[in-house]
Amino acid sequence: MKNIKEIGKQETFKAIDQLYQEYKLPKVSISDSEWNIFFDVTSEIFNNDNMQNDYPLAMNIILRRALNYAIIDEREEFTINYLIDGLCDLTVFHIYYEEIAKIKEEILNKINKQKIKIKDK
């Protein structure tokens, strides 16, 4: 059986493919490490709260919000920042703004640490 992180990834990438076919969307500019960090942090929330079945739906909601931001901004690239901004919709799952702020901060800190590691190599 797949873990929720893998299910969330598959559902998110499947939704991206479907949305790209339906709408004119900006190019995705998210590195593998950024995707991994995003899914590591977000899947852990749903593991801890016994909300595993809600994780694919949460990722779909976040993705749609993030893509809306990118389309409205008329950006040429879809970056991890749009997904991070889309985390505000976790309130639907009774995850509140203070916790969402901590989640955003954790993701950004891990991404920044990863970028520093790459620069130092």
Question: What tokens appear for 114 in the block?
Answer: 């990863």
Amino acid 84: pLDDT: 96
Helices (H), the chain: 4-22, 32-48, 55-72, 80-86, 97-120
Q: Give the residue extent of every domain in the chain.
A: 4-115
Q: How confident is the model at residue 41 (pLDDT cuts 50, 70, 90)?
A: very high
Residue range 25-35, pLDDT digits in tens: 788 899 999 99
Amino acid 111: pLDDT: 95
Cβ atoms of 88 and 65 within 8 Å: the answer is yes
Closest among 4, 121, 101 to 57, alpha carbons compared: 4
Question: How many other CB atoms sit within 10 Å of the CB of residue 60?
Answer: 15
Cβ atoms of 35 and 9 within 8 Å: the answer is yes
Give Cα separations from 7 to 12, 23, 30 (angstroms): 8, 24, 19
Closest among 25, 22, 24, 92 to 57, alpha carbons compared: 92
Residue range 97-111, pLDDT digits in tens: 999 999 999 999 999
Cβ atoms of 27 and 77 within 8 Å: the answer is yes
- Which amino acid, one-letter code, is at 111? I
Domain 4-115 has CATH 1.10.8: yes
